[in-house]
Amino acid sequence: MHKMFAALTAVAALVAAGPASAEFPEKPIEIVVPFNGGGGTDTMARIFAEYLAKQLDNPVVVVNRPGAGGEVGMTEVAQSDPDGYKLIVINTPNVLTIPTERDARFTYESFDLLGTIAEDPGTLSVRADDEIETIADLVAAAEAAPGEVTYGTSGVGSAGHIAGLLFSQAADAELLNVPYTGSSAVRTALLNGDVRVATANLGEALNFADGNPWRILGVMASERVAGQPDLPTFAEAGYPIQAGSLRGLGVAAGTPADVLETLREGVAAVMADDAFLAASAKANVPVRYLDADEHAAALAALDTNIKALWAATPWRE
């Protein structure tokens, strides 16, 4: 009798507790890149996915969801089930500019952050056979023909467009933005002579310059970049501009705490992996790790700056 009572009690406890939750992860994880393949964000994500899969002992696949300057992919993840199986590469300034300039279905607070992977300063480049050889030469060319010096960007409100606006504002030089669908298209446009200047983050520009007639004029960073000591900063030319892209990962807000912990620990472990760091360096990915709290603080500060720029120089009618 006592044994039967004990058995019934155990069964009742199991029923009350409900079904046991599955251990995360138990199926492939997606990393959504909200841009076309071939650019710096895509390259970074594919390298990172390989090492995250090893850390989690679980498949991690990269999926490109381009469109509307990143809005399509970011909206998809923001509105997805908060189960940790769909990650998004969060790029600045796009995650901040899109909700600033229009009625978007997300903000940076729509995501639970996992940490950053890279910080890539902005650059301006010309063809190697262009008479523009320095930042000062570019300013002179723009002053000689206001509104006629074209610069290619990955779209209105993109990192390159914001970098161009900051440069135009600082140098009081009028340039003409020509938007494309991604950084690879900007590369092709410059090499074909369709635009005179290309905007790209440093990692992309270094890859584009490899084997091509491509001249990087300078970097929009606070100091010269380690590994590229010959590239001057814009500040050295008298224009203290800092621009580019901080790239990290997030999931839909409301993801369970235990799932977030697993993902954040995985991200931190990858960022400390010497093999990952070596692979990133080989691909010109400028790694920088901020944990979730540090990432949130950085986005909040950048959001304030973006809103101030929009108030002074709105980039959409």
Q: Of the given ranges (45-54, 143-152, 154-163), which has the lowest mean pLDDT?
A: 154-163
For the cut 80, the answer to whether the pLDDT of residue 72 exceeds it is yes
Annotate 176-244 with DSSP letters as a single string. EEEE-SSHHHHHHHHHHTS-SEEEEEHHHHHHHHTTSSEEEEEE-SSSPPTT-TTSPBTGGGT-----E
Domain boundaries, the chain: 29-119+244-312, 121-237
pLDDT band at 317 (very low <50, low <70, confident <90, very high): low
Architecture of domain 29-119+244-312: 3-Layer(aba) Sandwich (3.40)
pLDDT tens for residues 181-236? Answer: 888 899 999 999 999 999 999 988 999 999 999 999 999 998 888 888 999 999 99
Coil vs helix vs strand at 106: coil
**Percentage of the residues of the chain whose pLDDT score is greater than 90:** 77
Q: Token digits for 201?
A: 């983050």
Res 172 pLDDT > 90: yes
- The overall average pLDDT reported for the chain is 91
**Residue range 3-57, pLDDT digits in tens:** 444 444 444 444 444 343 469 999 999 999 999 898 889 999 999 999 999 999 9
Same CATH fold, 121-237 and 29-119+244-312?
A: yes
Average pLDDT in the 300-305 region?
91
Look at residue 181 in the predicted model and tell me its pLDDT: 86
Q: What is the pLDDT of residue 74?
A: 98
Domain 121-237: give its CATH code. Answer: 3.40.190.10
Please report the pLDDT score of residue 103 as a whole number.
94
Burial class (CB within 10 angstroms; exposed 0-12, middle 13-18, buried 19+) of 77: buried
Which class for 282: exposed (0-12), middle (13-18), buried (19 or more C-beta within 10 A)? exposed
Q: For residue range 79-121, list pLDDT tens digits in order.
A: 999 999 999 999 999 999 999 999 999 999 999 999 999 988 9
| Distance from C-alpha of 192 to C-alpha of 80, rounded to nearest angstrom | 40
- Between 316 and 212, residue with greater pLDDT: 212
pTM comes to: 0.80
